[in-house]
Homo-oligomer: A and B are copies of this chain.
Amino acid sequence: MVPFVYDIPTRVYFGENQLTHLGQELSRFGKSVLFVYGGGSIRKTGLYDTVMSAIRESGLHAAELSGVEPNPKVDSVRRGVELCRENDVDVILAVGGGSVLDCGKYISAAVFHDGDPWDLIEKNMPTPKTLPVVTIVTMAATGSEMDTVAVISNMEKKLKIGFNRPQLRPAVSFLDPTLTYSVSRYQTACGCADIFSHAVETYFNDKGMYMVDRFFEGIMRTVVKYASVAMEKPDDYEARANIMWAASWAINGLGRIMQPYAWSCHGLEHQLSAFYDITHGLGLAILTPRWMEHILSEDTAPRLRDLGVSVFDVDPGLPLMDGAKAAIEATKKWLFETLGLASTLTEIGIGDEHIPEMAHSAVTLGLKRAFIPLTDQDAEDIFRASL
């Protein structure tokens, strides 16, 4: 067990009608806000108006960065940095799913860098100064509202990279489960696959701590229990609330701080998104069980079996290898039958054309430093098994 520093100062307003505190929280940081959002959905749901009213009523000024895309691109960051400088912005308000939040978080650091924003990633630069970030979450998935990561894509360079700095953790996040009622059945499924994957990556990392392992089993069990409820009944508060809080805890650092190792499925998936711009949670759903199959051995079987028993009610009396295999089958069944996600890359139009390139890039960027280290050949095998 490695020593660690637990330091998660994000203040979270959780529940319905908590946005009444938005103006007061933004005002703590200054007068000028950069309001970052995606497409038009927050206008349709009325959230845009709620936010603008809060900003006006608190006597704040807002510049707007709209149109932030899924798998946010460095171009959006560049536009955001310009707006911050033109408007002397004091605080960034990111309203949306993980992509919008990541874009806002990256801007908060890039605004203090004189060169191009991509430099931060490319040159692995420190970020001694950042603007405070406030978030309003409209989709439970990435956990970006409470974590230290911003994943940014550079399509010219075919790179999608997670930039991780403690200073990127949002200062305040608003989690209102009712704001996720409008998330589609498909996006709900993808979000739940993403949360599940974060927990799996944490669970299959360093030996960690018994208590924390139990917490992560709880997170996985929660997502498995409530994903189908939210898909069937989008306005089920209990389901949306549990999924939302699970999303935050799957990645906020509670488990991760004791882990020196890179995340495997995320490393592989970032390649798919960089080459094909697919939905992150869908890529993870396809890859995760194939990764499990690939790493299955006498060494890893006990942990896979534990996952099966605690999350999917696999019979604890099964022989070790059978229990581990049953866990993988249960994972597949949940992802591909219950959630109804595409089960192969072929189904979503991805062939084998870039596999060696993607495998090499994933391994170079981190997978050789995974808990179960992967070679180029391992990564290729997992991609091919996912076809």
Question: What residues make up the interface of A, taking CB atoms closer than 8 Å to B?
Answer: 1-9, 11-18, 209-212, 214-215, 217-219, 221-222, 225-226, 237-238, 241-242, 245-246, 249
Contact = CB atoms under 8 A, between A and B. Distances in A.
Contact of A11 (B5, B221, B241): B5
Nearest to A237: B1
Given A7-B11, A7-B12, A14-B6, A238 B214 contact: no
B17 A242 contact: no
Contact of A210 (B5, B6, B7, B225): B225
Contact of A211 (B9, B211, B222): B222
Contacts of A214: 214-215, 217-219, 221-222
Given A214-B217, A218-B214, A3 B14 contact: yes
Report, nearest first, the 7 A-B pairs whose CB atoms are least far apart. A3-B15, A214-B218, A6-B12, A9-B9, A211-B222, A7-B11, A210-B242
A181 to B, nearest CB: 15
Could you tell me the dominant secondary structure of chain A's interface residues?
helix
Given A210-B226, A211-B222, A214-B214, 16 more contacts: A3-B13, A3-B17, A4-B14, A5-B11, A5-B13, A6-B11, A6-B12, A7-B12, A8-B8, A209-B242, A209-B245, A210-B225, A211-B242, A211-B245, A211-B246, A214-B215
Contact of A4 (B2, B5, B15): B15
A56 B216 CA distance: 42
A214 B217 CA distance: 8
A300 to B, nearest CB: 20
A264 B226 CA distance: 31
Contacts of A9: 9, 11
A222 B237 contact: no
Nearest to A16: B3
Given A4-B14, A18-B3, A210 B222 contact: yes
Nearest to A6: B12
A75 B13 CA distance: 38
A6 B11 CA distance: 6
Nearest to A13: B5
Nearest to A21: B5
A210 B6 CA distance: 24
A265 to B, nearest CB: 22
A241 B4 CA distance: 12
A14 B242 CA distance: 28
A12 to B, nearest CB: 4
A214 B220 CA distance: 10
Most B Cβ at <10 Å: residue of A209, A217, A218: A218
A2 B13 CA distance: 11
B210 A1 contact: no
A221 B211 CA distance: 8
A222 B209 CA distance: 10
